[in-house]
Amino acid sequence: MALQGFDRWHLFDNLSTGVIYLDQSGCIVELNASASALLGIGSKALGQPLEELFLDKDGEGMRHALRRAVEQGHPFNKREAHVWIGGQERVVDYAVTPLTAQDGQTHLLMELQPMDRLLRIAREEAMSTTHMATRQLIRGVAHEIKNPLGGLRGAAQLLARALHDPELEEYTRVIIEEADRLRHLVDRMLGSRRLPQPRRINVHECLERVRALVMAEAGDAIDVERDYDPSLPDLYSDPDQLIQVLLNIGGNALQALRENPQPGQRGRILLRSRSQRQFTIGSVRHRLVLRLDIEDNGPGIPEALQAAIFYPMVSGRAAGTGLGLSIAQDIISQAGGLIECESQPGRTLFSVYLPWEERHDGESVGR
C-alpha cells in the first residue's frame, strides 16, 4: 500500500540512522536529518565530495571500497570504524549499498550509525562493575589485615613492658610503629567512613576553594585558570566530598607538572564547569548532568596505565600511593556520578559527571 502525503526523504528524516545518497563520483546528493546532525553541516553538504566531510582513517581503503561498489556493484560495510568528521575522530558503523538510478548509472546509499555513545556506555559499565568488585575485594582484605595488626601491636606493647633492655625495647618500638603505619594505610584504602551530607551548593564555590589551595601550593610556577558557566544551577551534593575529589585530581595535575616540566612551556591547570544534556551514567539516562573538568598541559598519563588509573594501588608516580583516584571514583559513584579521563602528551583531562537530580534511597529522581 502506497504512503499518501509522504516522500521518501521525509520518512528518512525520522530515522535515528544517518542516510546519505551519493552519486557515482562520490558527491552528496541528499542526506537525512540524522546524517546532517552527525556531519554537523546541514544543507551545505549537498554537492560536496563525501571524503571532505567523512573519511575513514584508512582513507585509501574507503576510497577503494567506494570505487568497487560503483564499478562492480558490490555492497560493503564496516564495523566500529574510526573516521574523521569535522576534524574530530568518531567511531561509527557504516554500510554502503549500490543502487541503479533512472539514467542507468550506479549511485550509492550510505547508512551511518554512531557508536561512540554505545561504546562509552559499555566501557563505563565494565569499569563500574570492575571498580565495585575491586572495592569489595579491598575492603575484605583490609579487614583481614586490621584484625591481626591489632593483636600484633598489643603483643608488642606487652612485650615492651616486660623488657628492661633498651636495645630490645627499640625492636618493639619498631614493631608498634610499623603496625600503626600499616593500619593507617588500610584505613586510607577503606576510604572515608563519614556518611555523605548533601545539600544545595554552588559548585563554583567548591571550584574556587580547590583553585585557591592549588594556587597556594603551586606558587608562581604554574598558572591555575578557570572557565566557568555562571548560569549553572545549584547542585545537591556533599561539598566536602566534592572538594576532596577535585583536590585529589588537581593535586595530581600539579605534581605531574612539577615533576615533569615541559621545556619552553609554562605549566597550566584549567578548571571548567559545563552542563551536558541527555547523558547516560551506568544504565541511567539523565536529561541534564553537571560536568566539571580539570585539564593540564603536562606530560600525560602513560598509555599502559590509563585503563587502570582508578584501581587502588596503581600510580604513575614513584611517591604515589595509588589511592587518591580510587577513593575519588568511589565518592562520585556513591553520588550517582562518574569520573572519566583522557590523556595524551601535552593534555590530560579529567571530567567529573554528576546528575542534577536529588537521590533518595539510592534512586535517581527526574527533575
Instruction: Check which CATH number belongs to the domain holding 87 and give it.
Output: 3.30.450.20
Q: Which residues of the chain have pLDDT under 70?
A: 1-10, 42-43, 117, 119-135, 188-194, 312-323, 357-367
Contact 281, 353 (CB under 8 A): yes
Q: Is residue 3 part of a domain?
A: no
Choose the final residue of a domain: 114, 132, 148: 114
**Rounded Cα gap, residues 359 and 64, in angstroms:** 53
pLDDT at 285: 79
**Are 212 and 179 contained in the same domain?**
no
pLDDT at 42: 66
If you write DSSP's letter for every residue of 253-302 in order, what string do you get? HHHHHHHSPPTT--EEEEEEEEEEEEEEETTEEEEEEEEEEEEE-SS---
Q: Is residue 284 part of a domain?
A: yes
Q: Does the reported pTM lie above 0.85?
A: no
Domain count of the chain? 3
**Are 296 and 165 contained in the same domain?**
no
**Are 184 and 255 contained in the same domain?**
no
Residue 159: domain span: 119-190
**Are 74 and 152 contained in the same domain?**
no
Report the first-to-last Cα separation within the chain, whole angstroms. Answer: 43
Q: Collapse the DSSP code of 89 into the 3-class scheme (helix H, G, I; strand E, B; otherwise coil) and give the result.
A: strand
Q: Collapse the DSSP code of 32 into the 3-class scheme (helix H, G, I; strand E, B; otherwise coil) and give the result.
A: coil
**Are 204 and 247 contained in the same domain?**
yes
Name which of 169, 171, 168, 136 is nearest 333 in CA terms.
Answer: 136
**Are 212 and 134 contained in the same domain?**
no
Q: Collapse the DSSP code of 104 into the 3-class scheme (helix H, G, I; strand E, B; otherwise coil) and give the result.
A: coil
**Are 210 and 232 contained in the same domain?**
yes
Give the chain's largest Cα–Cα span: 107
Choose the final residue of a domain: 159, 190, 221: 190
Choose the final residue of a domain: 90, 114, 138: 114
